[in-house]
Amino acid sequence: NIETTKNNRIPQDEIIIGMTQEPDSLDPVFSQMAASSLIQGALFEAETERNEKWDRELRLAEKIPSLKDGDWKILDKKRMETIWKIKPASVWEDGHPLTVFDSLFVHKIYMDPDIPVTSRDVHKRIENIEIIDSYSLRIVWKERYHLADYGIGFLPSHILEPVYKSDPKKYHQSFYNKTPIGNGPYKLSKWVSGVEIVLEKNELFFFDKPFTNKLIFRFIPDSNTLLANLLSGTIDASPPGLGITFDQAIELEKQDRKDIKLFFTPGLIWEHIDFNLDNPLLKDKLVRKALLYAINRKNIIEKIFFNKVEVAHSWLPPKHYGYYKDVSQYEYNPEKAKELLIKAGWKWVDTEKKFYKDNKLIVLTIMTTAGNKLREQVEQIIQSDFRNIGIELNIKNQPANVFFGQTTRYRKFPDLAMYAWVMSPESDGESLWTSDNIPSKSNNFVGQNTPGWQNKEIDRIDHLIPQTLDESERKELFKQEQIIWSDELPAIPLFFRLDISVVRAGFENWLPTGTTNPVSWNCEYWKLIL
């Protein structure tokens, strides 16, 4: 209901969010894009979530299991159990009761080897799920797991179980990618490909009913066009990672505008460049180190980010509890880069200022998301830096849905892929760096080890970290892991981004988190008063 405020301003009936990317899927099991996560934040609720302060909040769960309370128990040397109880008032948007059978179905989907889920790192640890009653379940874990108190989520089994049973191998191609049935504050109204996704208020939402009747997520691939739409009032907000660029935000900050509100949120978003380690050239660690020495990352941060971010030296951010502050650092040193390439067997021809081996030059291709001005600027600086040491770098960018949906997921990039991983405060590295998480045909392209890095000691450590309940012991393992990682360099660490977002003046309750939890986490409280 629209209510008039004290100063006679009226809350708007709809809010329009401009975003540079279109989701690959709205099914939480298969989507990998931040664009998908943003919209899923309005469509789905889980057991708990983190707010903008990174505190855990109860959503569908009655409480969070704990060792102290006895609903998280150690059974023997390895095994554990957790007891979950969910709120009986919860329903799906079609009115069907939400029960623990919906969690059981999630587990079934994740553990079917014929279904190409993004990762099985949580579900593979589960030995058994026992239904106590419709709103209580007992999860028995095969091994210690420090994130056992995070739940496993829900899918509407009353709708999707028949789809799965009809043809499990085609389940990932079902209607649910485009027309999901959710349990969140909003429900899907329509998806016009290439144009927009429209969500309407879910009247059956079990928490506070949304302030705004309709959310429209409009796809505007070019950030300049998106900014123009924002300043003209055609759109009302630009979300973190999917909207205006850093340099645009800096320019707006200089203008000190009164019609908008800017947010620079410290984030856990790791911008990096993956090596394709199947490439014979990039298999050589000396070459990988040379390429990192060749990049003037401080110059990138100064020119593009106005020194508001810092160079990354690890895949973990300094805000993460497991960050090792004395990890190896590679300062800009083109002469050192040349020395390493010569050591790797390449010959420097001074008259041409190029490297040769077997009459071949070093030519690499870098790929990222097309239309992202910030990343394109970074590519151009790296291209120039590489040219200074005789390496040609070709730039071949793709639309985000192709780059993430096909190229990186299936490891189709030939040399270098630049993008970001959004970390969480609990990220442990297992899905990113263990060899069994290299996406391949044999594992149905499950996992996030996109470089294809294989290291037995890393496998041991990164599998052990999530099994270690004591945080101080995990910190020591993280230290060992980062020492090896920074020497092997399966990827080039660039920087940890700030989450840049902007809304129109009058937009209330916009609370970016800087984590994997999207800004839409509290969208039922979004309100625009003009």
pLDDT for residue 5: 43
Q: What is the pLDDT of residues 399-427, one digit of tens each?
A: 998 999 899 999 999 999 999 998 888 88
Reduced 3-state DSSP string for 397-458: CECHHHHHHHHHCCCCCCCEEEEEEECCCCCCCHHHHCHHHCCCHHHCCCCCCCCCCCCHHH
pLDDT value of position 271? 96
Q: Please report which helix (H) or strand (E) contains residue 81, including its range.
A: strand 80-85
- Which tens digits make up the pLDDT trace of 232-281? 999 999 999 899 988 899 999 999 999 999 999 988 889 999 999 999 99
Residue 4, pLDDT > 50, answer: no
391-396's contacts with Cβ under 8 Å and 24+ in sequence apart are 391/291, 391/294, 391/355, 391/362, 391/363, 391/364, 392/361, 392/362, 392/363, 392/364, 393/363, 393/364, 393/365, 393/366, 394/363, 394/364, 394/365, 394/366, 395/365, 395/366, 395/367, 396/365, 396/366, 396/367
Query: What's the burial of 280, exposed, middle or buried (CB within 10 Å: 0-12/13-18/19+)?
Result: exposed
Buried/exposed code over 208-220 (b: 16+ C-beta within 10 A; e: otherwise)? eebbbbbbbbbbb
Contact 446, 118 (CB under 8 A): yes
Burial group, residue 13, by CB count within 10 angstroms (0-12, 13-18, 19+):
exposed
Q: With 0-12 CB in 10 A as exposed, 13-18 as middle and 19+ as buried, what is 371?
A: buried
- pLDDT given at position 266: 82
CA–CA dist 416, 392 (Å, integer): 13
Q: Which of 58, 214, 82 is nearest to 148 (CA)?
A: 82
1, pLDDT greater than 60? no
Q: How far apart are CA 260 and CA 237, in angstroms?
A: 9
**Residues belonging to the chain:** 530
The pLDDT tens digits for 436-491 are: 999 999 888 888 999 999 999 999 999 999 999 999 999 999 999 999 999 999 99
pLDDT tens per residue, range 187-231: 999 999 999 999 999 999 999 999 999 999 999 999 999 999 999
What phi and psi, each to the nearest 5 degrees, are found at residue 186?
-130, 160
Q: Give the SS3 label for residue 524.
A: helix
Query: Kind and range of the H or E element at 158?
Result: helix 157-166
Helix (H) or strand (E) holding 104: helix 101-111
On whether the CB atoms of residues 188 and 26 are closer than 8 A, the answer is yes
Over the stretch 331-357, which tens digit does the pLDDT of each residue have? Answer: 999 999 999 999 999 999 998 999 999
Better-scored residue on pLDDT, 284 or 423: 284
pLDDT value at 121 more than 90: no
Confidence of residue 9 (pLDDT cuts 50, 70, 90): low
